[in-house]
Amino acid sequence: MQSAVLGELFAGIPLESVRGSMERSVTSIVYDSRDAREGALFVAMDGAHTDGHRFIGDAVRRGAAAVLASRPVGGVPGRVTLIQARGTRALLSPLAAAFYGHPSRSLRVIGVTGTDGKSSTVWFIDQLLSRLGKKSGFLSTVSFKTGETVVKNPFRQSTPEATEIHGMLREMADAGREYAVVEATSHGLSSKTNRLGDVIFDAAVLTNVTHEHLEFHGTFETYRSDKANLFRALSPSTSKDVDCPRFGVVNADDPSAEYFRQCTGVPVSTYSGSGAAAADLAALNAHADITGTSFLIAHRGARAHARLRIPGPFWVENLLAACLTVSRALCVDPLSLAPHVESLSGVRGRMDYIDRGQPFAVIVDYAHTPGAFEKLFPWVRAHTRGRIIAVFGSAGERDREKRPLQGRAAASTCDTLILTEEDPRGEDSLAILEQIASGCQGKTRGKDLLLVPDRREAIRLAVSRAAAGDVVLLLGKGHEGSIIGALGPREWDERAEAERALRELGYGT
């Protein structure tokens, strides 16, 4: 069982007061009182929706041996060590890193950030490393792998809290993994949460930066800066137990590429899905069809043919990011990776085709930002002879400014829009849909613009309207296993719901 002495955990951390012994060993660090067990250290954090200090008593009743609070609290029994320090949320990261023995020091850690394409890029990097004989683990929005087995991400956080992050990195190190590929979200990189603050990164990868999560960051500039913390964290002088080149990889086609390059002192390489001549790695002569994309990978005047058997507009860019990252990490020619491309698989819930024998296409995808829509819809239009029917919504209590932008991007390309719930949380579902609809210029209510709050009903309506040659796009949920409403989450499986709707129409029975 993992354990650590309080005095060692808090070494170097300024404390305002201590009552009780710091020589006590703790067996876990928890921030949710429901997870407290005998011997736990409970960290009371101020959250977005609740105050952890309210649950100190519950944690103690469940066996917590120590409590960390950010302000004076009463009613804590004398047998419990009570520690007070400022910024308990930020302190969760160094405490977790120390408790698990600083596992990122013994792993080569690659961080992937960006608005779209993070999970896919992480997935490709892990597969390429494995094909080259390297033992790799990863953490992503969709799934985790700390040993040999890939498991579904049980959290509704792309970047979980620091205790989970360092716990899984410890599992990777103990399992003999050489590399850890970590999806690094803006929330996780923000100083407000500091979830990734004590992970020692060796490489930073940027996919893109578009409009997202302004409800948390406030402005686009802050959002971009928080993402750039991944690049700022790279330091050629950081001491680790393993050797690994430190470098950055950025998308040359993104307007913020130079901004990220300037945020670090380590070498930065570039890739381009549009074939930019100045990029270190580029895709040329791409030919896409409904089953995937064939293209040339270009590097320093040389070229290699590649075939990616995953359809969609993002995949080639994400694949280039992965190839460039692996080539830099292993010091190999990126063109040598071309033969491995065709064997790569896609991520569940990302351009996930459902075939029950119906004469039209049904695709489940996680796209939920205006930037993702602006790439996805034109690509689908170019490969569709029929109509495009799009089903999507926007998350409640999240970035409200993006909602009309989603509507505008969809209305400009799609034939029929069915707006529905995504994760309304405490907001009124119909009010969210009205905000999206405000950007749906040129569409007529009741005809090619329908507001159907119930997602199950919306999916059934979409497939019932589809004819031969059409494409039904079910967007925004992808791999996620729940829909969060005012009363909490309820189970959800987008693919299963689509299959059920098709069976009801007589397909695949």
Task: Yes or no: say if 473 and 363 are a contact pair by the CB < 8 Å rule.
Answer: yes
Q: What is the pLDDT of residues 285-315, one digit of tens each?
A: 999 877 789 999 999 999 999 999 888 767 9
What is the pairing mode between strands 482-485 and 488-491? Answer: antiparallel
Mean pLDDT over each residue of the chain, to the nearest integer? 93
Phi, psi of 67, rounded to the nearest 5 degrees: -130, 135
pLDDT in tens, 179-233: 999 999 988 999 888 999 999 999 999 999 986 555 565 688 888 999 999 999 9
Q: Would you state the pLDDT for residue 156?
A: 58
- How is the chain split into domains, by residue range? 4-95, 100-272, 352-504
**How far from the centroid of its chain's Cα atoms is residue 257's Cα?**
20
Distance of alpha carbon 288 from alpha carbon 295, whole angstroms = 9
At 434 the pLDDT is 97
- For domain 4-95, the question of CATH label 3.40.1390.10 is answered with yes
CATH architecture label of 352-504: Alpha-Beta Complex (3.90)
pTM for the whole structure = 0.82
Can you tell me the mean pLDDT for 33-44?
97
pLDDT greater than 60 at residue 335:
yes
Separation in Å, CA 495 to CA 363, 478, 492: 9, 8, 9
- Cα(327)–Cα(129) distance, rounded to whole angstroms? 10
Count Cα neighbours of 406 within 13 Å in the Cβ-side half-sphere: 27
Closest-CA residue to 89 (of 176, 195, 179): 195
**Of 54, 8, 56, whose CA–CA distance to 36 is shortest?**
56
Show the tokens assigned to 450: 């329908």
Instruction: Report strand pairing: 136-139 vs 40-43.
Output: unpaired
CATH code of 100-272, in short, is 3.40.1190.10
Q: Which of 378, 195, 376, 382 is nearest to 392 (CA)?
A: 376
